Structure 1
Amino acid sequence: MAIAATEGQRRLDALRALALVLGVLGTLVGLLGPVWAGAPDATSLVGVVSGAGACVLGVVILDRRPANRSAWGFLAGGLLLVATTAVYSVAAGQTRAGAMSPADASTVADLAVVGEVLGALAGASLPLFQLFYPDGRLPSPRWRPVLVLYLLGWVAGAIAVGVVAWPRRDPGLLADLGDVDLTVPGSLDPALQVIAATEGFAVLALAMGVAAMAVRLRRTRGNERAQVLLGLWGIGTTAFLIAATAVLFQLGLDAASTVASLIAPLPLLVSVAVAMRRHRLFDVQRLVGQTLTYATVTVLLVGLYAAVAVGLGSLADHIGLGSGVPVAAATLATAAAFRPLLGLVRTAVDRRFDRRTWLAVRTIDEFTARLRAGTAEPADLVEALRRAVDDPTACVVYLDSAHATGEVDSCPVTIGLDGAPADLGEPRPGRMRRTVEAGGAPVALIDLDSRLTDEPHLVQAALTAASLPLENAALHARAAVRLAEVAASRSRIVAADDSDRRRIERDLHDGPQQRLVALALRLRMAQRQPAAGDRAAADVLGDAVAELRATVDELRELTRGILPPVLTDEGLAVALRTAAARLPIPVTLDVSPQRLAPGLEATVWFVACEGMTNAVKHAGAQTVSVQVRSDAATVRLLVRDDGVGGAVIAPGGGLQGLTDRVAAVGGRLRIHSPSGSGTTLEAELPCAS
């Protein structure tokens, strides 16, 4: 196994060395082109920029990936381009050296044919790179016949050029390759037709290569997708600049055409270098989308300007207006159309090209619209976000700065949508986290699959679109926290109130009440054993006993609103029986003997006693029934009477106090009291309270 690894490494080292030798030779030959040509004409300079640049880039890529066939295809194209410009440069240098002898003319003619053959190969060589880009393999096995047909056509075209041009070789053929002071004779028309055919084949081959890259683009993700996108951007931009070069040349702008021809290869060279070295590929989709957007907008605005200028110019000629009016109108129309046109084109480009980002934003926008319409809930946001970024494992927690403990600068706590604490824990391998802000304040923390680090534009666009619904959900979560805090505070107040009631009842029972009862007993004993003939003392003692009894009764009445000891000792059923026994009307009790939590028993006790007391004092009832039922989750209390009804909840009244007390423990009190049909109090309280 170690031997195999060593042999593989030797093979890679040999490929690196071969690439270095070929690249250095190609670069030197390309740099010598302008020297051999005798003048820095456009063709020789293109050899320096395109050919030598491709050779250097090929060596750089192959140093990292020596077995990558797309890199070898790129280097081969650079070498062919360098060879073409070198042959042209040598021949052009001889034509510029002065009058040519017959031998020189024959040499130039031979070199012109060789240059055309090499040019046919160089012109159609880019698919050697495109078909294998970026990983050195074809997009799929189905592309093997396409590769074979391309290679056959590529080689056959070059051979056809040589076969047709060699018998008709003439120094004038060199004028087809570059700017030399020669004329192409009519005898070369058949050769020129074959050369034109090879140029057409080169265009078709280039389109085939673009199709292969497009197919690969649909099947890839992450870094490889970014590489393909960047390669397509480079090819498209270079093709656009080449077309601009041809247009400038036809318009007679030779200097601008030369500059454009020198700049044209740079986007392809730079994009391939960045893509193959995988250096900062994160914003490739954005770069490509913006290039397409602004290129399309530029073309449309130029067309609009030309249409308005020409149309109004014709009208101005008929009505005698000056030429400045059409120009001003065209300028105004172009300026007015720029912003809306940019928006339309950007949307169209994103929809067709950066479709994943477009779909992500549309998914969030549709959810936001449904949220505003009331057909979606904040709880649905997580699922919408998962669909938007194509990550079913995405998690969301909300940040609550106001709920943080400690000093003002303490970190926000993380909570769920229901307000309960939610902790994502420590960052795990394979995960990434992003904080979403709204109005400059952090509102949510998103946990995502780390594969999305290759698509930062997608994540950023989705989270930016989701900032408003995330802020809305964070407000819901924070409101839930505040409500829970209020409920807990009310429960603590109720518990403290019950504790105070028990303390007061115990103090009254164990202190003054006991002493008054003892005093009453002693006075009774003194009344029964008065001094002989002391009737006045007996009467005084009798009055004192009566006053003490009244005082004791008042104390008992006072402590009736306080929790009785029997409630704590015996439970709700016994306490309600004791309370019902003191009423002057019959009371039907149906109370489960099961004990409840102290706070819950106290609440049920107060509601039941208030209901029975109201039935006697205010409703004129003849009978009252009390029913208490409980299960694992809920306690239900029902108090019915047959009184006059018409009971309403008045601010500050007893029923309002009952409603508040039930709500304080998380329950609900319903009152049904139609006039003349009695009153029903129904309370539902959670057992968890």
Structure 2
Amino acid sequence: MTGHDVRAHPLPVALLVLTCAVAVASVPLSAGREPVIDTALYPLNAVALGAAGLLIRMRLPRHRVGLLLAGLGLVGALVELLEGYGYHDTWPGALSVQWGAAWGSPVGAGSTATLLALFPDGRAAGRRWRWLPPFTIGATATLVLGAALSHANDDSYAFTTDGNPYAVDGFDILFHIGELAFAASIVLSIASLVGRFRRAGGMERQQLKLIFWFACLLAVVGPAAAVSYHSNVVVQVAITLLVPLLPVTICVAILRYRLYDVDVLIARTIAYAALTALLAVAWGVTALVLGALLGGGSAWVTAGATIAAAAVVLPLRRRVQDGVDRAFRRARHHALARVDAYLEDLRAGRASADELEGLLRDVLRDPALTLRLLLPGQSPPASVDGPSADRPSVDGPSADRPSTDGSSVDGRVRTLVERSGVALAEVTHAVPEGEPLADVLSRAGLAIEIARLQAEVRHRLAEVEASRARIVAAAHDERRRLGRDLHDGAQQRLVSAGLALRHVQHQLGDQPAASDLETVVTEIGGAIQDLRELAHGIRPARLDDGLELALRELAGRTPLPVRVAAAPGPLPDAVVAAAYYVAAEALTNVVKHAVANTVELRADREDGELVLSVRDDGVGGAEPGAGSGLRGLADRVGALGGRLRLESPAGAGTTLTVRLPCAS
């Protein structure tokens, strides 16, 4: 048997079983003889007390509050049974049963102070408060004794005859002393809770917040019930709905279930109460003024008061909520303020969407939080910094609210964020402990959507660049194959044919046909030279020996003095080919347009890039779009993720600089 095994707790289990039996038996006895809400909810409250007591004892076997709640549940059920029996005043012993019900009711009410004095750990709030639990028990006993032996309770609905048949003259003062003592015990118990709260921290502070929330509700409804319970239906309904909340509140607080939601509960309760009060005041004042002007029976009074109340309350709703959050949900208020400021900076261009993940980590106090953006049709999703296959991803299902999907990775929770039905991102985060995760993600929805759109644009651009690079690589490979075929195929066959003709020419000697063959051999030589030039333009074989040698050979074939300074080391083949063709096109442009005397050709590595520059001392004034061929060079360079820069002031020469990323 374990501490969580029901069989390990025979006393609270027996009390709960007996409570359920008595509560069920009370319902048919009371049905039709008291309000339906009393018939149904008070037995339910008794069962809730017993169940809460059992749950607490199962988790915390030595906790006094658990056993106290289980006992109170049985007392509450017995009171309901006695009241139901007492309604049948012709049954045997009905008057004595009514008397038992009349003094049994204060037992439950008086025990509330004892519960508060022992909350949340089953002990007094400290040495200074050790006397409080005995005092509350004594106050309850005095109240019960006064109710049992005085005429002060004669008008109780429990009695169907002329009042308390066992009352003793002079004992009314005892009942009133018990009432005062009970009221004092409630006040002192709340004071002890305040003292606990000031000294508490962490989880105990959250427990006390929850019970304070219930105490505030009780402070509003309790006095009204004491004054006008039997005459006011609204008060009866309020106290009937409130009473079952006590065992639920105590059980939730002691068992520490979702206590990080306490701040939300308190803030919403206060905000709704404040708005209700404002609405009532606005409606009442407007109705009073319009009633004085138009007459109390006018329908315009009601309509005008309703419109005025709405006009006053609706603009104030946000301010009231912000004020309550600032006072009672500081973490949420601060986090949402940070998100709002970031959104404002994002709209103004002062912030980047790439900062969003860091902002969420900061405001949610989770350094390990990860944000993964869900791009259309992409798997796996991209990170906030762009496409990535090795980062986690996140999402959540509702119109504009995030939702936790219940799954976890290494103890962390994944939440999907949606906006207008479109999945935007997935957030992997720690289980929230009071931090406003859902509110923050909802408020940051626009920023997440912007980040997703930016990541999608980056992804598309990366795809375009990769596609361009593949096209350039394919063209480069095709040029290499064609150049090799020309060199090894047609060119060699023409050389062989020329040699064969030259041999025939020698055999013919001085015959007239020999001179004709000389013309044919010369044409074949010209064709071979043309093929060599064509093969060089397609893909020089010298590139296989590295960029430096290829550039020096290119400079040697240029009809201008070219100074070459190149020592870039080994480079990717695609980068070597691109740099060579850029240099060839640039030198061709210099020869055709620059009217230059000298040219300088440089190639070197800088910060993981190949930097190629061609500088001349010509007339300058070159323009990329003026038919110079530089636009094609820019496309070739851009396909490899590089950059091209042209500086060509008139009369001061031209400098073409190309930067190409190189992985090796």
Task: Sort the TM-score into its range (normalised by shorter chain).
Answer: 0.7 to 0.9
User: Which residue in the other structure is 2:625 paired with?
Assistant: 650
1:3-14 map, 5 Å: none
User: Which residue in the other structure is 2:543 paired with?
Assistant: 567
User: Which residue in the other structure is 2:221 paired with?
Assistant: 241
Cα distance in 1 between the residues matched to 2:623 and 2:639: 20
Shift of the 498–254 alpha-carbon distance from structure 1 to 2, 3 Å rule, reads: closer
User: Which residue in the other structure is 1:407 paired with?
Assistant: none
Q: Which residue among 148, 155, 171 is the counterpart of 2:130?
A: 148
Shift of the 68–516 alpha-carbon distance from structure 1 to 2, 3 Å rule, reads: same
Shift of the 613–150 alpha-carbon distance from structure 1 to 2, 3 Å rule, reads: same
Could you tell me how far 1:204 is from its partner in structure 2? Answer: 1.3
Is 1:444 the counterpart of 2:432 in the alignment? no
User: Which residue in the other structure is 2:389 paired with?
Assistant: 421
Cα distance in 2 between the residues matched to 1:418 and 1:51: 57
Q: Which residue among 525, 530, 534 is the counterpart of 1:558?
A: 534
Give the gaps of 5 or more residues in structure 2: 394-406
Matched residue SS, 2:374: strand
Is 1:667 the counterpart of 2:642 in the alignment? yes
Shift of the 88–527 alpha-carbon distance from structure 1 to 2, 3 Å rule, reads: closer
Could you tell me how far 1:60 is from its partner in structure 2? Answer: 3.9
1:180-579 map, 5 Å: 194-195=177-178, 197-208=180-191, 211=194, 219-220=202-203, 225=206, 231-245=211-225, 253-272=231-250, 289-316=267-294, 323-404=298-379, 413=381, 415=383, 417-424=385-392, 428-449=409-430, 451-452=431-432, 458-521=436-499, 532=510, 537=513, 540-568=516-544, 570-579=545-554
User: Which residue in the other structure is 2:598 paired with?
Assistant: 623
Contact 2:621 2:651 survives alignment (8 Å): yes
Could you tell me how far 1:649 is from its partner in structure 2? Answer: 0.6
Matched residue SS, 1:646: coil
Shift of the 16–67 alpha-carbon distance from structure 1 to 2, 3 Å rule, reads: farther
**Aligned residues: percent identity?**
31
Cα distance in 2 between the residues matched to 1:581 and 1:35: 116
Could you tell me how far 1:55 is from its partner in structure 2? Answer: 5.9
Q: Which residue among 55, 58, 61 is the counterpart of 1:64?
A: 58
Contact 1:527 1:538 survives alignment (8 Å): yes
The AA in structure 1 aligned to 2:562 is V
The AA in structure 1 aligned to 2:457 is A
Contact 1:316 1:326 survives alignment (8 Å): yes
Could you tell me how far 1:201 is from its partner in structure 2? Answer: 0.9
Could you tell me how far 1:572 is from its partner in structure 2? Answer: 2.4
Question: Which is further off, 420-429 or 612-621?
Answer: 420-429
Shift of the 75–637 alpha-carbon distance from structure 1 to 2, 3 Å rule, reads: same
Could you tell me how far 1:333 is from its partner in structure 2? Answer: 1.4
Q: For 1:558-606, what per-residue CA distance to the aligned partner results, in whole angstroms no more than 9, with x for missing partners? A: 33322222222x3222222222222222111112273422222211211
Contact 1:580 1:587 survives alignment (8 Å): yes
CA RMSD of aligned residues (A): 5.1
Shift of the 217–387 alpha-carbon distance from structure 1 to 2, 3 Å rule, reads: farther
Matched residue SS, 1:676: coil
The AA in structure 2 aligned to 1:417 is D
Contact 1:624 1:641 survives alignment (8 Å): yes
Contact 2:63 2:122 survives alignment (8 Å): yes
Contact 2:111 2:140 survives alignment (8 Å): no
Could you tell me how far 1:30 is from its partner in structure 2? Answer: 13
Could you tell me how far 1:144 is from its partner in structure 2? Answer: 0.7
The AA in structure 2 aligned to 1:639 is V
Cα distance in 2 between the residues matched to 1:441 and 1:35: 57
Matched residue SS, 1:402: coil
Contact 1:524 1:545 survives alignment (8 Å): yes
Matched residue SS, 1:589: strand
Q: Highest Rg: 1 or 2?
A: 1
Matched residue SS, 1:618: helix
Cα distance in 1 between the residues matched to 2:20 and 2:420: 57
Could you tell me how far 1:553 is from its partner in structure 2? Answer: 3.4
Cα distance in 1 between the residues matched to 2:294 and 2:339: 51
Cα distance in 2 between the residues matched to 1:162 and 1:274: 29
Matched residue SS, 2:377: helix
Cα distance in 1 between the residues matched to 2:48 and 2:424: 50
User: Which residue in the other structure is 2:404 paired with?
Assistant: none
Shift of the 300–247 alpha-carbon distance from structure 1 to 2, 3 Å rule, reads: farther
Q: For 1:344-397, what per-residue CA distance to the aligned partner results, in whole angstroms no more than 9, with x for missing partners? A: 444444444444444444443333333223333233222222233332222222
Could you tell me how far 1:554 is from its partner in structure 2? Answer: 2.9
Shift of the 414–136 alpha-carbon distance from structure 1 to 2, 3 Å rule, reads: farther
Shift of the 126–213 alpha-carbon distance from structure 1 to 2, 3 Å rule, reads: farther
The AA in structure 1 aligned to 2:367 is P
TM-score by length of 2: 0.78
Cα distance in 2 between the residues matched to 1:51 and 1:504: 92
Could you tell me how far 1:335 is from its partner in structure 2? Answer: 3.5
Contact 1:88 1:174 survives alignment (8 Å): no
Cα distance in 2 between the residues matched to 1:677 and 1:369: 48
TM-score by length of 1: 0.75
Contact 1:68 1:135 survives alignment (8 Å): yes
Could you tell me how far 1:292 is from its partner in structure 2? Answer: 3.8
Cα distance in 2 between the residues matched to 1:578 and 1:46: 102
Is 1:129 the counterpart of 2:97 in the alignment? no
Is 1:173 the counterpart of 2:145 in the alignment? no
Question: Which is further off, 548-557 or 56-65?
Answer: 56-65
Cα distance in 1 between the residues matched to 2:339 and 2:58: 41
Shift of the 578–92 alpha-carbon distance from structure 1 to 2, 3 Å rule, reads: closer
Could you tell me how far 1:332 is from its partner in structure 2? Answer: 2.1
Q: For 1:457-477, what per-residue CA distance to the aligned partner results, in whole angstroms no more than 9, with x for missing partners? A: 943333333333223223333
Q: What is the number of residues matched between the two proteins?
A: 639
Contact 1:491 1:665 survives alignment (8 Å): yes
Cα distance in 2 between the residues matched to 1:660 and 1:34: 90
Q: Which residue among 605, 608, 615 is the counterpart of 2:583?
A: 608
Contact 1:420 1:481 survives alignment (8 Å): no
Cα distance in 1 between the residues matched to 2:15 and 2:551: 104
User: Which residue in the other structure is 1:409 paired with?
Assistant: none
The AA in structure 2 aligned to 1:72 is L
Shift of the 20–473 alpha-carbon distance from structure 1 to 2, 3 Å rule, reads: same
User: Which residue in the other structure is 2:555 paired with?
Assistant: 580
Q: Which residue among 11, 23, 28 is the counterpart of 1:17?
A: 11
Shift of the 237–510 alpha-carbon distance from structure 1 to 2, 3 Å rule, reads: same
The AA in structure 2 aligned to 1:563 is R
